[in-house]
Chains A and B, each alone.
Chain A
Amino acid sequence: MRVRVSYDDEASDEALLAGVAVGDERAVLAFVRRYQRRLFGLALGIVGDPGMAEDVAQEAFIRILRHAAVYDVRRGSVATWTLTITRNLAIDAVRVRRPLPTAPEDHAFLALVSDERSPDDAAILSDAVTQARVALDSLPMDQRRAIVLAVMYGRTVAEVASLEAIPLGTAKSRIRLGLAKLRDAAAAEAS
């Protein structure tokens, strides 16, 4: 009986990426299956178009797979690394198409700032998602919106001010205070 590396659900992200780095296609397939829904969901939320979201998610995967060998665990988790690459590609794609979207429907993730929660949310969310949700919910609503626009959509402070129809200084302070609270919450969680 041949014994083989097992890339099942128990394999760590780092182990999968290591398999990818040495060209093991079993690891590639396992990695894609693990992350395709999350990467596509993030891309879709930012670009708002399924076709463009697929292009973004595919490009993100190709970049991740190509650069697996130089992934540095000191720069963050594999999951965060993959999400960041996807977010950046999606933002670039949107900026090429529309320099500054202003319609509310262009920012689907603003729904995340709502206080309403599905009863099933707690049961299905992973630890990382739950932590992010709790941290965001701890912010005042105006700071939540500013953070989502800046983080999820890559909006500059000036763009946030324009989208929210608020003075530049107000946008700056909402983002600064919101991020500071999130940072403090993360530090408290880690300690």
Chain B
Amino acid sequence: MSNTPEESVKCDAIGDDLIEFALGTLSGRRRSVVLDHLETCAHCDAESEALASVADSMLWLAPEAEPPLGFESRLIERYRSTEVRHASSSSRRRRVAVFALAAVLVAVLGIGIDAIVMSNERTNNNLATSRPLTGHLMADGSVVGQVSISSGHPSWMIMDVDAGYLSGAVWCEVTFANGRVETVGSFTLANGYGSWIAAIKDSGSRVRSARLVNSNGKVLAMATFAV
């Protein structure tokens, strides 16, 4: 990769600081000088990334060691306590309630399926960007499952279905804000139950709805996500 003369001068001035930057040991003004340089120099930016990557790969050399007895239970307890304070933790409890409700509603209602919209649980817009999208999967006014979509790269979709009257192969499609539809995958329901995880090629944060369709393309259930 070639540099302009101006960039080369700056690159020379950066010198060994780039290595310390890649190792994460550079601080203060020297660090901010390197950061400024990387903003304008693709060559050094790529070099820094490459050096950081090989440095990080060395961490595999650390031998494994058995944690103290009770490590796992203490960690899970701590995780649960932090999750209780976390706004999104309510989704799991709500999921249990959803399935309990769904079991009752599905037993009472018939098969006539319509796409019913229900907003997702997000109420805090400041936190929404890093939270998964979560919506209820609805059919004929009943909750028949839940869909969660992570916002990372790739985005992942987890779908839980609990609809006793459905069985066999079904397809999951998601619709993005620009109207594009992506088929995430084909899954099999066993006695009305199914739970899957699949990657979404595009950004999950742009998904506006997810729907379950049968082999004829008929919509069996749908979840929408409020913006």
Contact = CB atoms under 8 A, between A and B. Distances in A.
A185 to B, nearest CB: 8
A21 B53 CA distance: 24
Nearest to A185: B54
Contacts of A17: 152
B66 A22 contact: no
B98 to A, nearest CB: 13
A179 B92 contact: no
A127 to B, nearest CB: 9
Contacts, number: 219
Interface in A27-68: 28-29, 32-33, 36-38, 40-42, 44-46, 50, 53-54, 57-58, 61-62, 65-68
Interface in B118-145: 130-132, 134
Given A5-B196, A54-B67, A69 B19 contact: no
B132 A21 contact: yes
Sorting the interface of chain B by its residue count into under 10, 10 to 19, 20 to 34 or 35 or more gives: 35 or more
Contacts of A42: 59, 62
A97 interface: no
B5 to A, nearest CB: 24
Contacts of B153: 71-74
**What DSSP secondary structure best describes chain A's contact surface?**
helix
Which of B51, B68, B158 has most chain A Cβ within 10 Å?
Answer: B158
Which of B148, B156, B190 has most chain A Cβ within 10 Å?
Answer: B156
A10 to B, nearest CB: 12
Interface stretch (B34-42, B74-82, B212-220): B74-82
A38 B62 contact: yes
B58 A38 contact: no
Contact of A128 (B16, B60, B65, B132): B60
B167 to A, nearest CB: 11
A42 B64 CA distance: 7
Given A33-B72, A154-B23, A156-B20, A69 B60 contact: no
A179 B54 contact: yes
B223 to A, nearest CB: 13
Nearest to B67: A40
Interface string A96-129: 0000000000000100100000000000001011
A83 B68 contact: no
A70 B55 CA distance: 23
Given A21-B156, A69-B131, A73-B153, A36 B16 contact: no
B83 A23 contact: yes
A182 interface: yes
A-B complex: 10 closest residue pairs judged by Cβ atoms: A18-B156, A22-B148, A41-B65, A42-B62, A83-B59, A21-B150, A37-B64, A40-B67, A182-B54, A41-B64
Interface of B: 16, 19-20, 22-26, 50-51, 53-68, 71-72, 74-76, 78-79, 82-83, 86, 88-89, 91-92, 130-132, 134, 148-154, 156, 158, 188-191, 193-197, 199
